[in-house]
Amino acid sequence: MTTIRVQAMTLLRFASRAALTAAMALLMPACLLVRTTEHHIKLNKNGGGEALMRLVDIRSDARTDSLVARDYAVMMASIQNEGVTEFEKGGRKVKSKLFYAGGDTLSAEIVYTFPNLDQIEGLKVRKDELFVVVNEGREIVRTNGSVRSWIKNGHRIVWPRDATRLSYVITESSLPPSVSLASLYRQFGNNVPEGGH
């Protein structure tokens, strides 16, 4: 089973492992895990469009409270500054970003526009279809596409090339020991804690 671990400064790209890693480039350059990703993409006839990505249950795999706090601080600094700049380099534009906590779960929503399909991380474009690859260790919760078997126990979610809405939710089959960042969000909100980053 694989787990999405975000290291360094690469955070908001989408859906498949590459897609989630990109999304994380905007948000999370620390050692973070995300249990579930939800994607809703609206495509325009010109190839551009708008996407909403929801990251549910953002966690740190750090072993000490100080390292968990550092992960949180780095994540917040990234989503407010350099992560957005890096994410927008290819023509994408972040319209909104929102964090919220429910119980012991921290989630984030990012809405962005894109000028062409190449700007949607993880989306593969072929003459007759669009698809994302979901690797082994991840489960498809729901989608408006067709699910097909793929290499090494993976799957593809496939849509017709002329689809105007793509929607899918993917969850990790299991996560290693980790700590929810919800309590830090309640304490600091969108602020970068002292000594962070």
- Domain range annotation of the chain: 17-188
Question: What does the alpha-carbon distance between residue 25 and residue 14 come to, in Å, rounded to a whole number?
Answer: 10
Quote the pLDDT of residue 182: 96
* pLDDT given for residue 30 in this prediction: 53
Q: pTM of the prediction?
A: 0.82
Give the number of other Cβ atoms within 10 Å of residue 46's Cβ. Answer: 8
Distances (CA, A) of 10 to 42, 149, 167, 178: 24, 29, 23, 20
Give mean pLDDT in consecutive 10-residue pieces for the chain, a chain of 197 residues. Answer: 31 40 51 93 95 95 91 87 84 93 95 93 93 94 96 94 97 93 92 64
The pLDDT assigned to 3 comes to 34
